[in-house]
């Protein structure tokens, strides 16, 4: 049994020379360095791709926000213009009614003021 175990163990006697052991260690070190370099390159490539995609996504979001902001500004301008036109038209109609029927206008204003006064007095 001792002979079987001795055959499987690499001892300096089983190697051709001490230089061979050193050469194998050096070769193994080179392989480890190469693997480490490949791993570092892979890591750098992956990091670069992630940063690029994040940058692209950020730019896309920024662009969409700018488009949405401009659209909202335009819609707000249109709504403001429509409300201004409708307000002016209503004012013209009311002024026309007041000029056509001055006594009725005074009576309606007096009634509205009286009603408002009563309602406000009840709240106090």
Q: Identify whether 2 is part of a domain.
A: no
Instruction: Provide the whole-model pTM.
Output: 0.44
- Structural domains of the chain, count: 1
Q: Identify whether 1 is part of a domain.
A: no
Contact 98, 105 (CB under 8 A): yes
Q: Identify whether 111 is part of a domain.
A: yes
Residue that wins the pLDDT comparison between 123 and 73: 73
CA distances from 47 to 37, 39, 52, 57, 58 (A): 15, 12, 9, 15, 16
Q: Identify whether 82 is part of a domain.
A: yes
Q: Identify whether 26 is part of a domain.
A: yes
Model confidence pLDDT, tens digit, residues 43-61:
999 988 888 888 888 889 9
Domain containing residue 51: 12-123
Q: Identify whether 4 is part of a domain.
A: no
Average pLDDT, the chain: 85
């Amino acid at each position: 049994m001792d002979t079987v175990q001795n055959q499987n163990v690499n001892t300096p006697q089983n190697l051709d020379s001490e230089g061979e052991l050193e050469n194998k260690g050096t070769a193994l070190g080179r392989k480890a360095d190469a693997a480490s370099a490949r791993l570092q390159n892979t890591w750098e490539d992956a990091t670069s791709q992630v940063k690029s995609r994040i940058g692209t996504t950020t730019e896309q979001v920024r662009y969409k926000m700018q488009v949405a902001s401009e659209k909202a500004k335009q819609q707000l301008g249109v709504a403001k213009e429509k409300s201004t036109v409708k307000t002016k038209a209503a004012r013209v109609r009311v002024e026309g009614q007041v000029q056509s029927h001055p006594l009725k206008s005074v009576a309606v204003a007096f009634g509205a003021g009286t009603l408002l006064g009563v309602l406000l007095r009840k709240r106090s």
